[in-house]
Amino acid sequence: MKLTKQILIQVIFFLLTVQALSAADWELAKNKNGVVVHTREVENSPLKEFRGKVLIQASTDEALALITNPSTYTTWLHDCKSAEKLKINNKNEWYVYLLNGAPWPVSNRDVIFKANLSSDDKGTTTIQ
């Protein structure tokens, strides 16, 4: 179950860094052990973006406790060298700096992203 939580959190984290776009462009890349991954081309880039979904046995509060606390990222996010909140606008909006390791000959990658947390009447919580 710990591995499943880690996968969900990693997928959600990376989804924070991309805009939500039309589902029609996404292609199924993997569907294994309850993890579904879709990819699509990115204009003017050799890299593809991805999104993933997985169902886990954890409360929303448990998942949010990890996702909203960058000091934990190095323990569960693959190749995360460091992470910190740069700015907190309010309890639902913040900026995070992340340093991701990369294999030689690629340099490590810096990322700054803005996270927006929202919940609806049905109990669905979304971070974009």
Over residues 90-116, the pLDDT tens digits come to 989 999 999 999 888 989 999 898 999
At 89, is the pLDDT very low, low, confident or very high (cuts 50, 70, 90)?
very high
Domains in the chain, ordered, with CATH? Answer: 2-127 (3.30.530.20)
C-alpha distance from residue 127 to each of 100, 103, 110 (Å): 20, 29, 20
C-beta of residue 26 within 8 angstroms of C-beta of residue 38: yes
pLDDT at 18 exceeding the cut of 70: no
Can you tell me the distance from the alpha carbon of 5 to that of 66, in angstroms, rounded to the nearest whole number?
Answer: 10
At 7, is the pLDDT very low, low, confident or very high (cuts 50, 70, 90)?
low
Mean per-residue pLDDT of the chain = 82
Tell me, yes or no, if the pTM score tops 0.85: no
